[in-house]
Amino acid sequence: MKRILIFLYGAGSYAAFVATFLYAIGFIGNFAVPKSMDSPASGPWQTAFWIDLGLLLLFALQHSVMARPAFKRIITQIVPDSIERSTYVLASSVALLFLFWQWMPLGGTVWSVQNEPGNVVLYGGFAFGWLLVLISTFVINHFDLFGLRQVWLHLLRKPETRVKFATPFLYRIVRHPLYLGWLLAFWSTPLMTVTHLFFALVTTAYILVAIQFEERDLMTAHPEYAEYRKQVPMIVPGMPRVVMPVATPQSAPPAPVIPARLGSAARKVTAN
């Protein structure tokens, strides 16, 4: 019975992620949702600024603190290892949904592209960004990244296997294709409002800072990541000088399990 409940918890967390992901597309793109990023302003811009900044910082803290190894060691003393990742995914979804609910538009326009080719290019970049985010998760291990694999193996009474250090095709030209996808989705818009610009600037700053913490953890857990880091660009795609060979089961010991975040390069090298 406990195994079934754990599986249902993981499945529910995954369902929450899917709903949040779909809402995020409409929220940032300003379509198909009851409240979007650029809904009509409802108060002074100063109030909106501080509320929105607080919401973004709240999400950043949750997303980063819960991803750190020290926090994971603490949380797994409270919840089973098999739902640690699902708990992280659920908390991230709740933090984002709270942001969508409480968001206050600032108003104002930075740029507005009127010509058809420009609209096509920018909307195309927006769609490609979201597609790149999704593809990047499947290139590594989508269901492990969002906790379903862990609860499924627990349900079947199977031990969780570990994944060796690897560089799937996207990760051979850029270390963080997930983050690149987010940046494309955040910045590609034919109508850049002050609200949207504020959101894009803060989230971009968070991504650049978060990468530093993430890669520090990776180099601690996997010394070979330091060499990979020298060879492959961080965000802007490019051809590496030398691509690290993928370790085979015969040539490399099992990689230790390390924590990772949504959009994390860590998930391409280990399974949590």
For every residue of 231-258, DSSP letters joined together read HS-SSS----SSPPPPPPTTTSPPPPP-
Rg (CA), the chain: 20
- 239 pLDDT tier (thresholds 50, 70, 90): confident
Is the pLDDT reported for residue 267 higher than 70?
A: no
Domain count across the chain: 1
Domain of 7, in residue numbers: 2-268
- 1 pLDDT tier (thresholds 50, 70, 90): confident
How far apart CA 28 and CA 127 sit, in angstroms, is: 11
* pLDDT value for 168: 81
Give the mean pLDDT of 192-215. Answer: 95
* pLDDT value for 217: 85
Distances in whole angstroms, Cα of residue 157 to Cα of each of 39, 196, 249: 48, 47, 23
- By the 10 Å C-beta count (0-12 exposed, 13-18 middle, 19+ buried), 248 is classed as exposed
* pLDDT value for 224: 85
Is the pLDDT reported for residue 214 higher than 50?
A: yes
Residue-wise pLDDT for 68-103, tens only, equals 889 999 999 999 999 999 999 999 999 999 999 999
Name 37's Cβ contacts closer than 8 Å, sequence gap at least 6.
27, 28, 30, 103, 105, 193, 195, 196, 199
How far apart CA 231 and CA 208 sit, in angstroms, is: 18
Name 119's Cβ contacts closer than 8 Å, sequence gap at least 6.
113, 190
* pLDDT value for 187: 98
| Burial track 94-115 (b if 16+ CB lie within 10 A, e otherwise) | ebbbebbeebbbbeeeeeebee
Is the pLDDT reported for residue 139 higher than 70?
A: yes
Query: pTM here?
Result: 0.84
